[in-house]
C-alpha cells in the first residue's frame, strides 16, 4: 500500500509526464524498506535453490561416495552454465535499470528483447560441450570404466544438453528484477526447486512406478525442474504488465545495446566463471592426494551455498536500486543502498561462520560421510569458513561496481581472490602441509580481495560517485 501511495503522489506531482516513464519505486521509496522488499524474494529464492542443490547431492551421496564424487566433479560445469546465464543476465539487469533511471524507455525495451536471444546463444555453447566434450573433461579426473567415470559422464551429458531451459529462464528473471519486480522471479525459482526436490528421490531410487535411474535420475530431475521454471516465467511475461517490453517478432538486434549489456555482463560472466575454473583446478590438485578430499570440497560448496546464496539474493535486490539511482544521479540513495546491503550481508555471513565452526560434523553427516570424510572434512569446513565475513564486503562492493557500470572492477577482484590467490596458494600449501593446510588458501585469498575492494571503492567514490 505504501508503494502504491508513493507512486500515486508522484503521478500527481508530474501529471504531464507519460506514465511509461514515471519515477518508479526505486527512486522514491525509503531505501531500507525498498531494499528489504526487493531483496527478500530473491534471498528466499536463492536459499531454496541452495536447498535443492544440497538435497540433490544428499540423495546421490546415499547411493555411494563414488557417485557423490562424480557429481562433485561435474559441479564446476554446472557452475559454468549458471555463470554464463547469470553473468549475461547481470549485464541485462544493470543496463535496463540504468536506462529506466535515465528515462530511456526505448533503450530499456531493446535490452529486454536482446536478453532472450542472448539466452539462446548461451545454450548453444553448452549443447556443444555436452554433445562432444564430456569424455575429454571427465577423463581428467577418473579412469574409464570406473563408477566415478561412468556416473560423471552420464550426469554431465544430461545437464549440459538439457540446459536450454535454465539459460532462457534466467534471462527472463533478470529482466523482471531490473524493473523492481522481485516476487515473480522468486515464484519461477521456487517452482523449479520444488519440482526438483520432489522428483529427485522418485527418479534416483525408482519410486511410484518409475525405474531407479541413479545419478541419471538426479540430472533429469534437475532439467525437469528448470523446464517448469521456464514455463512459469513465460506465463508471467506474457500475461502480466511490465515496465519493459520483450519483443518476440519484428525485433532487430541493436548491437550498441548488446555492447552495453556485455560491458557489465562479460566481466560478470568471467567473474562468476572464475569460481568454476578455480574449482576445476582445485579438484585436480586434490585428486592426486585423495578422491575423498574432492568429495569434501564438494560438500563445502554445497553447504556454503546456504550462506552465500542469501547474500547473492541480496545482491540481486540491491543492484537494480543502485543502477537506477546511479542513472538518476542520486548519490544519497545509491550509497544508502550499499550501506544497508553491506550491513545485512555481514549479519548473514557471521551466522554462517558460526554454523560452520560449531557444527561441521553435523553438516558432513547429512552426506553419509565415511570416517575418512570426517577426518578431512571437519577441519576443512572450519578453516574455509573463516573467509565468510570478509567475503561479505567483497560481494556488496562488487555489486556497487556492477550497478554503476564498472563490471571490470568486479572482475579484477575475483581474479585476485580465486585465480591469483586461491589456486597458487593451495598448490604450494598442499605440498608443504598436506590437504588440511591447503584449505587456508581460502581465507588468505579473501584477505587479498578485501584489501583490493577497499582501495578501489575509495578511488571510485572520489573519482565518480562523489560528483553525482
The per-residue pLDDT for range 323-357, each reduced to its tens digit, is 888 888 888 899 999 999 999 999 999 999 999 99
Distance CA 193, CA 254 (A): 34
Contact 97, 320 (CB under 8 A): yes
Residue 53 has what pLDDT?
A: 73
pLDDT in tens, 244-265: 877 777 667 778 888 888 887 8
Residue 162 has what pLDDT?
A: 95
The pLDDT mean for the chain works out to 86
Q: How confident is the model at residue 238 (pLDDT cuts 50, 70, 90)?
A: confident
Taking the model in full, what pTM does it have? 0.73
Range of weakest confidence among 353-367, 412-426, 444-458: 412-426
Residue 44 has what pLDDT?
A: 81
Bigger pLDDT: 151 or 306?
A: 151
Residues in the chain: 468
Contact 174, 97 (CB under 8 A): no
Maximum Cα–Cα distance across the chain: 72
Is the predicted pLDDT of residue 446 greater than 80, yes or no? yes
Q: Find the mean pLDDT for residues 260-285.
A: 83
pLDDT in tens, 208-230: 989 999 999 999 999 999 999 99
Q: How many CB atoms lie within 10 A of CB 374?
A: 14
Q: Find the mean pLDDT for residues 439-465.
A: 93
Contact 333, 325 (CB under 8 A): yes
pLDDT in tens, 185-197: 888 988 998 899 8
Residue 24 has what pLDDT?
A: 62
Residue 6 has what pLDDT?
A: 42
**Set of cell numbers at residue 201:** 528421490
Q: Find the mean pLDDT for residues 298-317.
A: 87
CA dihedral 272, 274, 278, 281 (to 10 degrees): 120
Which residue is listed with cell 536500486?
A: 321
Bigger pLDDT: 97 or 171?
A: 171
Nearest Cα residue to 169 out of 242, 236, 119: 119
Contact 22, 10 (CB under 8 A): yes
Distance CA 185, CA 162 (A): 21
pLDDT in tens, 149-203: 999 999 999 999 999 999 999 999 888 888 777 788 888 988 998 899 899 999 9
Q: Residue 231 has what DSSP assignment?
A: H
Distance CA 267, CA 265 (A): 6
Is the predicted pLDDT of residue 11 greater than 60, yes or no? no
Bigger pLDDT: 297 or 90?
A: 297
Q: How confident is the model at residue 387 (pLDDT cuts 50, 70, 90)?
A: very high
Distance CA 19, CA 362 (A): 54
Q: How confident is the model at residue 242 (pLDDT cuts 50, 70, 90)?
A: confident
List b or e across 148-165, with b for residues whose CB sees 16 or more CB atoms inside 10 angstroms.
bbbbbbbbbbbbbbbbbb
Amino acid at each position: 500500500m505504501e508503494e502504491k501511495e508513493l507512486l500515486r503522489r508522484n503521478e500527481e506531482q508530474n501529471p504531464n509526464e507519460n506514465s511509461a516513464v514515471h519515477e518508479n519505486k526505486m527512486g522514491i521509496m525509503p531505501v531500507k524498506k525498498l531494499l528489504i522488499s526487493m531483496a527478500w524474494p530473491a534471498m528466499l529464492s536463492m536459499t531454496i535453490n541452495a536447498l535443492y542443490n544440497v538435497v540433490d547431492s544428499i540423495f546421490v551421496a546415499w547411493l555411494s561416495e563414488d557417485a557423490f564424487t562424480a557429481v562433485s566433479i561435474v559441479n564446476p560445469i554446472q557452475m559454468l552454465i549458471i555463470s554464463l546465464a547469470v553473468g549475461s543476465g547481470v549485464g541485462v539487469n544493470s543496463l535496463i535499470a540504468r536506462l529506466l533511471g535515465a528515462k530511456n524507455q526505448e533503450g530499456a525495451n531493446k535490452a529486454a528483447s536482446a536478453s532472450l536471444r542472448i539466452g539462446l546463444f548461451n545454450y548453444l555453447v553448452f549443447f556443444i560441450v555436452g554433445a562432444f566434450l564430456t569424455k575429454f573433461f571427465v577423463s581428467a579426473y577418473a579412469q574409464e570404466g570406473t563408477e566415478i567415470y561412468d556416473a560423471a559422464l552420464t550426469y554431465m551429458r544430461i545437464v549440459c544438453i538439457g540446459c536450454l531451459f535454465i539459460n532462457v529462464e534466467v534471462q527472463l528473471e533478470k529482466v523482471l528484477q531490473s524493473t523492481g519486480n522481485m516476487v515473480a522471479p522468486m515464484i519461477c525459482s521456487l517452482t523449479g526447486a520444488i519440482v526438483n526436490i520432489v522428483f529427485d528421490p522418485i527418479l534416483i531410487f525408482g519410486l511410484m512406478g518409475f525405474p531407479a535411474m541413479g545419478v541419471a535420475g538426479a540430472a533429469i530431475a534437475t532439467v525437469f525442474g528448470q523446464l517448469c521454471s521456464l514455463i512459469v516465467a513465460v506465463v508471467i511475461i506474457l500475461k502480466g504488465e511490465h515496465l519493459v517490453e520483450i519483443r518476440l517478432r519484428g525485433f532487430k538486434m541493436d548491437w550498441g545495446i548488446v555492447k552495453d549489456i556485455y560491458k557489465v555482463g562479460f566481466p560478470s560472466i568471467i567473474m562468476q566463471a572464475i569460481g568454476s575454473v578455480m574449482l576445476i583446478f582445485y579438484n585436480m590438485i586434490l585428486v592426486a592426494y585423495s578422491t575423498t578430499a574432492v568429495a569434501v570440497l564438494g560438500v563445502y560448496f554445497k553447504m556454503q551455498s546456504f550462506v552465500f546464496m542469501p547474500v547473492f539474493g541480496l545482491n540481486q535486490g540491491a543492484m537494480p536500486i543502485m543502477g537506477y539511482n546511479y542513472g538518476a544521479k542520486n548519490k544519497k540513495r545509491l550509497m544508502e543502498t550499499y550501506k544497508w546491503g553491506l550491513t545485512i550481508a555481514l549479519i548473514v555471513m557471521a551466522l554462517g561462520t558460526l554454523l560452520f565452526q560449531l557444527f561441521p560434523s553435523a553438516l558432513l553427516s547429512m552426506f553419509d560421510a565415511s570416517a575418512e570424510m570426517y577426518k578431512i572434512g571437519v577441519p576443512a569446513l572450519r578453516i574455509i569458513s573463516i573467509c565468510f565475513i570478509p567475503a561479505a564486503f567483497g560481494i556488496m562492493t562488487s555489486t556497487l561496481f556492477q550497478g554503476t557500470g564498472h563490471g571490470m572492477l568486479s572482475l579484477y577482484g575475483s581474479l585476485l581472490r580465486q585465480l591469483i590467490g586461491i589456486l597458487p596458494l593451495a598448490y604450494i600449501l598442499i605440498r608443504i602441509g598436506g590437504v588440511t593446510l591447503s584449505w587456508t588458501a581460502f581465507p588468505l585469498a579473501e584477505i587479498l580481495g578485501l584489501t583490493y575492494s577497499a582501495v578501489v571503492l575509495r578511488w571510485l567514490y572520489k573519482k565518480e560517485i562523489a560528483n553525482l
